[in-house]
Amino acid sequence: MSDPTRPISSDPSLEPPGFEMTEGERRALEMVEASETGGRKLFGWQKLMVTVIAVAWCVYQMYAAQVGNIDTLTLRAIHLAFAFSLAYMVFPFRKSPGKPQTKVPWYDWILGILATGTAIYLIVKYPAIATVQGGSLLPIDVWVGSGMVILLLLAAWRTIGIAMPIVASVFMLYALTGPRGLIRGDLGPQLQLHAGQTWPQVVGQLFANTEGIFGTAIGVSAQIVFLFVLFGAIFDKLGAGDWFMNVAQGALGGFRGGPAKASVLSSALNGIISGSAVSNVVTGGNITIGTMKRVGYSAEKAGAIEVASSSNGQLMPPVMGAAAFIMAQNLNIEYRTLILAAAIPAFLCYGALLVVVHLEALKLGLKGLPKNELPRVRQTLVKGWYYLIPLGYLIGTLTINPEATPERVALNTIFMMIAMMFIQEVYFGRKNGLSVTQGLLDGGKKLIDAFEGGARSMIGIAIATAAAGIIVGIVTITGLGFGLADIVQLVSNGVREILLNVAGLIPGVDAGAVAGFGAILIVLMMAQLIALILGMGLPTTANYILMSALIVPIIAKIAGLDNTNPVQMLPVHMFVFYFGIMADSTPPVALAAFAAAAISGGNPVATGVQAFKYELRTALLAYMLFFNPELLLIANNKLSGLGFGDAIFMILFAFTGLVAFSAATMRFLHRKTNPLQALMLLVASFMLIIPTNILINLLALGLIAAVYFWQKAASRSEPPSSVPLAA
């Protein structure tokens, strides 16, 4: 039987004596490796080669951040070259669960060399393309560019699944074929559609400038995201992830349903340093899922709680995943401004999830773990207090110092943690009777492992951002976004007309306001559905890039927002970002749910469905952010224009609305709700989406209070034997 307090390892030889990884843990770990770090288990010189390339990638990215003056396209092309070389080495084309490949086949060597060669070719040839050739491509350039596009789609198929290559191919086909001409109709304006591009034009757009493959997305990946992923890998290798888990278990494990609350808290803490839902499920779930089942949660509910809490880790500043860095770039705002804006929603999201798991514990009549089996909080804090030094520096500098760039702060933090790693290994080595030399060697091995883990985690991100650049480039060259906006405008206008007619029949109702609100609401609901559907096949980063290129401008147009004003556009970007994250736990394709089910032994589809129910509060929060931008600290037409103190009432009303919504969807508050009580809670939560009218707010609070006291009165009137444990 495995030890519930230890982290799992991909290498059985590293298991502590007397312990053995469970089959579920091993399957879950294989899922993470297959989806995020590559499923091949190489040996000998091939494994050494992967390590050397991974470490070289890390060193290069740190060097680039240190000097800070490398040409934009050169930096991005080298970044992609490293990703290409590792992608074809560690990600097999065909994945065989339980039977990992142990060597790189000959055809992957050829594909990897060709793919890397296309990036190197561009680095060497680009100065001539930009100056001597005046931006036009020679036939050899078109051939090499075509090879890069094809090899990039193949690499994306391996690393992030088939959805992105299919979507990108459809967009390229659209660019090549048209459709030509005009579509006319009586429902709205004519739709202007482009007349088609030649293949050399498409290749020129995607390959030889910074508006396609080497656009903003991969630029952010190369300049900023890599350093933050490396920071997370080193921080975890120091032991901070286990320390967070022990702190959470000690603080909350003894309360009712304590293991579930510890899962939420530890995922929130891990979310500070990691934006990966699947890896968070595995690293934390191997402890929390077992303890949740032990106190009475079913396998599906235990797995679903871990999925919901791990997915929300991407909402937690300061490391919110690659999509957040790209969002800051798209909005042309400082990253520190974005993480300050994201702070209140993140705490609301996790606070509401704590309420959800508490209601679930009340509903099931659960208790916590015995206190003598939990880590002592004070001792745990004392043992790992020094982990707060780099974390405090990172958060403090990012949020307080406006002169500090994210990449410089991340690089300084990495240097700090490298020093800590060697000091830690020497210190504990000396306590165990080892020499200083052995401690330094152990520190070096850990650092190399962290470098390799960070680089392998970046492969999928780099490939995804490059492949997403294909879609963005096609949208730019064809003007596709304008055509889609016209189509959505037709739907919105139809809804507006219907609501105008209906609301006009009701005395005292502002028909124009109702129609305008309904038109915006229908567009948001369409955007929500698209994000969830795309999320079935795309990772969060690719999902956000596609939504920001296609859907965000449409929402802005319908809502009458200025596309160039970050104050107006931040709520729109956050809306699609939140639904992109929800897609990670949306069945039928939800890898995080499959990983959790592998550990829990539950049904993966049922786990995903249950996780989606827990995640519904995130959907409501996304609407709150859109209709109430003050939750993002937006006030007086300024970002960060609202102080935290001024936002207190907004926070309280929003949190109350999330609690009411969670109770309604779970059909439980003080006890099981009847249909009328659930409807009252649901109406109250919707009334609190826009907490600006004090009378409406008070009415909503009155509805919630009425349901609570109604249930309390019903509990008192029942015989003691029939009173639920929640009472």
212-259 confidence digits (pLDDT tens): 999 999 999 999 999 999 998 999 899 888 888 888 888 888 888 888
| 328, pLDDT greater than 80 | yes
As a whole number of angstroms, the distance between CA 75 and CA 67 comes to: 12
Q: Is the dihedral of CA 429, 433, 436, 441 positive or negative?
A: negative
At 597 the three-state DSSP class reads helix
Residue 540 near residue 314 (C-beta atoms within 8 A): yes
| 192, pLDDT greater than 80 | no
Q: Which residues on neighbouring strands pair with residue 182, listed in sequence order?
A: 192
For the chain, what is the mean pLDDT?
A: 84
Instruction: Look up residue 674 and give its DSSP letter.
Output: P
Backbone torsions φ then ψ of 94, nearest 5 degrees? -110, 125
pLDDT of residue 466: 94
User: DSSP string of 343-396?
Assistant: HHHHHHHHHHHHHHHHHHHHHHT-----GGGSPPHHHHHHHHGGGHHHHHHHHH
Higher pLDDT, 562 or 185: 562
Residue whose C-alpha is closest to residue 145's, from 115, 168, 167, 166: 115
Query: What's the rounded mean pLDDT across residues 415-423?
Result: 95
Residue 130 burial (CB count, 10 A)? 13
Per the structure block, which two tokens stand in for 186?
């009586």
pLDDT of residue 187: 35
User: DSSP string of 390-414?
Assistant: HHHHHHHHHHH-TT--HHHHHHHHH
The predicted-structure confidence for 476-491, as pLDDT tens digits, reads as follows 888 776 667 777 778 8
Residue 214 near residue 77 (C-beta atoms within 8 A): yes
pLDDT of residue 2: 32
Helix (H) or strand (E) run with residue 183 in it: strand 182-183
As a whole number of angstroms, the distance between CA 124 and CA 47 comes to: 29
Which residues 6+ apart lie within 8 Å of 607 measured at CB? 299, 300, 303, 304, 307, 593, 594, 596, 597, 600
pLDDT of residue 182: 36
pLDDT of residue 345: 92
| 5, pLDDT greater than 70 | no
Alpha-helical (H) ranges within 33-105 are 44-67, 72-90
Higher pLDDT, 674 or 99: 674
| 207, pLDDT greater than 80 | yes
Query: What's the rounded mean pLDDT across residues 149-169?
Result: 92
pLDDT of residue 184: 36
| 367, pLDDT greater than 90 | no
As a whole number of angstroms, the distance between CA 371 and CA 252 comes to: 10
Q: Which residues on neighbouring strands pair with residue 672, listed in sequence order?
A: 668
**662 exposed, middle or buried (CB, 10 Å; 0-12, 13-18, 19+)?**
buried
pLDDT of residue 13: 36
pLDDT of residue 39: 73
How much of the chain, in percent, has pLDDT values that exceed 90?
36
As a whole number of angstroms, the distance between CA 617 and CA 76 comes to: 38
Query: What's the rounded mean pLDDT across residues 379-406?
Result: 89
The predicted-structure confidence for 538-573, as pLDDT tens digits, reads as follows 788 888 888 888 889 888 888 888 888 999 999 999
pLDDT of residue 179: 54
The predicted-structure confidence for 441-474, as pLDDT tens digits, reads as follows 999 999 999 999 999 989 999 999 999 999 989 9
How much of the chain, in percent, has pLDDT values that exceed 70?
87
| 195, pLDDT greater than 70 | no
pLDDT of residue 487: 75
720 pLDDT tier (thresholds 50, 70, 90): low
Instruction: Look up residue 223 and give its DSSP letter.
Output: I
Higher pLDDT, 725 or 174: 174
| 96, pLDDT greater than 50 | yes
The predicted-structure confidence for 307-326, as pLDDT tens digits, reads as follows 888 888 888 888 777 888 89
Q: Computed over its alpha carbons, how large is the radius of gyration of the chain?
A: 26
As a whole number of angstroms, the distance between CA 383 and CA 414 comes to: 21
